[in-house]
Structure 1
């Protein structure tokens, strides 16, 4: 059965806003799909390479603004980039990426042309925590370099990887950055209390941030590890320094996330910190 929509507005030759009888207002993307289209024309859904819904009115307005103030050739290229991400990640993307990544990359290209660079303080952590997203982001940077002769700084790979991770997990960039800031704060506390300097490119550091990341996620999602009363007594007596530091870290998590942390997290952190001290 043919799925027919009604054109509301052709934003450029490759992007059309249309009325869907079920979904209401949708965005259709496809090469040449908007050429000579006008309001009231009918269009088949199969004519589009991609159909997505931007239910948030502000996002729709932002997307229209982006298309109006960005060269159509660049929009077409960035749409191809988003299609590429979906294929490489082999997962559905939150439709917000069409606004967020298009906005980010269009401005990043302008910044690169003006030799304006932003530092990414979480670059190593992003590469460690989201390796597949980081790899795809690296490929995207190469595609942009090949197509537009734009050289992005290394930090830009991290920003793009975050957008990809946000799109496949339906999590806001600001929440991801909040977690990265928390990890940084906890690592600083560990270094200060254990009087060590952790090298970012060493395996121990990678394992530590992986563990902290999983702990933060568990706390944020309200997942409990379960009671370990017998282990608690042993760890508290055997490794008092690491046990007390683990409690400090948990209190930081509680404050930053505004959530109660399962006491079992203290025990697992104690074990990890003790392993860390043995390898320093």
Structure 2
């Protein structure tokens, strides 16, 4: 394998045997290396296959300003999600989640924790994704020492849901969640009943 682009000392772009773009990570992998140099296989720790060249470009831009620790975290979170979810995750999720984690952790260190107004709805409607996202918060704490608030789990869960929608805008997942919540509220008020959230009818 040869380097097609150096993103930082530990992350490079390359191509695999089938000419597909990949991101290769490893400590000191690109130190004093340039485009065209061979990648030392002994230093390779992780490889990300990027099916979409647009994703590769955006990831390359992101890695210029973002620590690879966030890409590593995204990789671990997505591997967990892939092992538990039945649907295929869109490749762009690597970029979206890396970017999100970077900003969320930076904000938290500056004493800013954003509230997610859809926390309860996401917890209720996307239970599996929310549980994965809670485990993701544990991973973040383990790797960075930062404990993000539960609202961030809701945001991570929404990224997983959005990825299921084949890379559509995050607004789609939010609108669907709000729509379902509004419909349930109409049913509650019209019939003056409380709904059993664990029932099949619900």
For normalisation by structure 1, the TM-score amounts to: 0.59
Q: Structure 1 regions of 5+ residues with no counterpart?
A: 212-280
1: CA distance, partners of 2:153 / 2:135: 9
Matches within 5 A, 1:58-207: 59-89=55-85, 93-168=89-164, 170=166, 172=168, 173-194=170-191, 196=192, 198=194, 204-207=196-199
1:27–1:71 Cα change, 3 Å: same
Of the two, which has the highest radius of gyration? 1
2: CA distance, partners of 1:45 / 1:127: 42
1:15–1:91 Cα change, 3 Å: farther
What is the count of residue pairs matched by the alignment? 199
* Cα offset, 1:112, TM superposition: 1.3
For normalisation by structure 2, the TM-score amounts to: 0.78
| SS of structure 2 residue aligned to 1:7 | coil
2: CA distance, partners of 1:149 / 1:157: 16
* Cα offset, 1:108, TM superposition: 0.8
Structure having the higher helix fraction is: 1
Q: Is the 8 A contact 1:9 1:38 kept in 2?
A: yes
* Cα offset, 1:101, TM superposition: 0.4
User: What do residues 177-213 of structure 1 show as CA deviations (whole Å, max 9, x unaligned)?
Assistant: 121011122123223423x374xxxx614548x75xx
**Higher relative contact order, structure no. (Cα contacts within 8 Å, ≥ 6 residues apart):** 2
Q: Is the 8 A contact 2:71 2:94 kept in 1?
A: no
* Cα offset, 1:114, TM superposition: 2.1
Q: CA RMSD in A?
A: 3.1
Q: Give the corresponding residue for 1:11.
A: 7
